[in-house]
Structure 1
Amino acid sequence: MRLDKYLCESTDLTRSQARTVLASGEITVNGEVVKRGTHIMQDGDDVQWEGESLAIIGLRYIMLNKPAGYECSLRNSQHPSVMSLIDVDKRDRLHTVGRLDVETTGLILITDDGQWTHRIISPRHRCDKVYLATLAETLPQNAGELFLAGVLLEGEDKPTLPAVLERVDERSARLTIQEGKYHQVRRMFASLGNLVLALHRERIGPVSLDADLQPGESRYLTPAEVAALAQSSDGDAPA
């Protein structure tokens, strides 16, 4: 790899900024100042900038407890992006694995591994996604049966896949779905004449939101979590 490319891959420097830093003699390779961006790196080379060794930024897998008021987008539009909550280098490389709408809170996955994302959102697999919904009205007694049978949402030509409803109390319920139609959870409850006042995603596949994460906080997934998620899931859209 060329030295200028290595600098861009291991820092937030652009290619032009890397050339400037090199020209100023700020970069050493194995203790020697190198000013040529075309210098070819060898395995084991120690590249330092201002006395600190650099390393290529590897693939990242992040769990975020999304607060309300944030969009699952790369850039701020009407609302701030969830990416603004992640304090990492090369943040522009990251993307969300599926989406939650602005007011929905809870578990969102963020990565820069496109192949991993594709495996998770592949429509060939069905992955449980679990939501806790706070409702405006009490659910009818047959709500569980209706959701398990599948409901035809407005604007759709096929009913939803079977979904499991667990009543938590009079006006809250936990819903497990295996697909990701647009605003699906809200639309499912709306089909029963009910309004979702608050919606929180608790789990994707085998991975639950870390109870230690406050809204807006994040952590890296463990290797076991990364592997488990790669073996599950289907398409995802705002709930």
Structure 2
Amino acid sequence: MERLQKVIAHAGVASRRKAEQLIVEGKVKVNGKVVKELGIKVGENDRVEVEGIPLEREEPVYLLLYKPSGVISAVKDDKDRKVVTDFIPYIKQRIYPVGRLDYDTSGILLLTNDGEFANALMHPRYEVEKTYVAKVKGVPSRESIKILERGVVLEDGKTAPAKVKVISFDKRKQTTILEITIHEGRNRQVRRMLEAIEHPVLKLKREQYAFLTLSGLSTGDSRELSPHEVKQLRALVLHGKNRA
């Protein structure tokens, strides 16, 4: 038996908080009866409906994809461009990306059908670190690097401090390779941070998500996370909650 809001979240219908709201608003039925109590638990044989639609319970799936550049972080696209789920045709469950990577950005992207898990990982409060490698135009000064490390003022507010490492630079070509680690997930954040210090991105790749890497994968490849990896990710989020 599991709490109703958790079952709804695991089915990918909504986050747990949104599921709680739907329950309180009387939009959820269990075995044909409207339920407004948040403490109720349901089992596998109970029939759950959310806003009149029967809940399809699926086995939870947790995947890591090496997203290629030039692919949309979505399950469908109205312009008929390639989307990340095109690379995972063998999964029957309704999976979706955890956050997103920009169209022109490659690297690690997680996909799941576990709404609660996805929302927890995306919440900036829990500080799940993501590491990017960026090839940028020009050679950033020490002061420019310090601006990234302190936080950059963008149109939607100041970013949290980043960890920055200069991997290499080419004075002749006037390009630099930087490693940047952040825990936020704003739209095009790394690109905007680097534009703000006047070193626009030429190429960007997310190489690490928490402790997960692209080891053993080629672009377009995917693999299932092991139960231990899923447990580790949950522990990271729990640690973040306790810290918050």
**Would you say same fold, with TM above 0.5?**
yes
Using the alignment, how far apart are the partners of 1:57 and 1:151 within structure 2?
41
CA contact (8 A) 1:69 1:103 kept: yes
CA contact (8 A) 2:122 2:185 kept: no
SS in 2 for 1:185: helix
Q: Does 1:113 align with 2:114?
A: yes
Pairs aligned (count): 176
Note the aligned Cα RMSD (angstroms). Answer: 1.9
Among 81, 84, 97, the residue aligned to 1:82: 84
Q: How far 1:123 sits from its partner (Å)? A: 3.4
SS in 1 for 2:158: coil
Task: Please state which structure has a larger fraction of its residues in helix.
Answer: 2
Using the alignment, how far apart are the partners of 1:197 and 1:173 within structure 2?
11
Using the alignment, how far apart are the partners of 1:71 and 1:120 within structure 2?
20
Partner of 1:165: 164
Give the partner amino acid of 1:110. Answer: L
Partner of 1:230: 234
Partner of 1:218: 222
Q: How far 1:57 sits from its partner (Å)? A: 5.8
Q: Relative to structure 1, is the Cα distance of residues 57 and 150 closer, same or farther in structure 2, using a 3 angstrom cutoff?
A: closer
User: Residue by residue, what CA displacement relative to the aligned partner does 1:162-215 show, whole Å, maximum 9, x if unpaired?
Assistant: 101100001100000111111110011101111101100011112222x21110
SS in 2 for 1:231: helix
Q: How far 1:76 sits from its partner (Å)? A: 2.9
TM-score normalised to the size of structure 1?
Answer: 0.69
Using the alignment, how far apart are the partners of 2:217 and 2:152 within structure 1?
34
SS in 2 for 1:72: coil
Using the alignment, how far apart are the partners of 2:226 and 2:151 within structure 1?
35
Identify the range of structure 1 (144-153 vs 128-137) with the bigger mean alpha-carbon deviation. Answer: 144-153
Using the alignment, how far apart are the partners of 2:151 and 2:127 within structure 1?
15
TM-score normalised to the size of structure 2?
Answer: 0.68
The unaligned stretches of length 5 or more in structure 1 are 1-40, 43-55, 234-239
Alignment of 1:76-225 (within 5 A): 76-78=77-79, 79-91=81-93, 93-153=94-154, 155-156=155-156, 158-170=157-169, 171-209=176-214, 211-225=215-229
Q: What fraction of aligned residue pairs are identical, expressed as a percent?
A: 31
The unaligned stretches of length 5 or more in structure 2 are 1-43, 46-56, 170-175, 238-244
Q: Relative to structure 1, is the Cα distance of residues 146 and 89 closer, same or farther in structure 2, using a 3 angstrom cutoff?
A: closer
Using the alignment, how far apart are the partners of 1:182 and 1:73 within structure 2?
14
SS in 2 for 1:124: helix
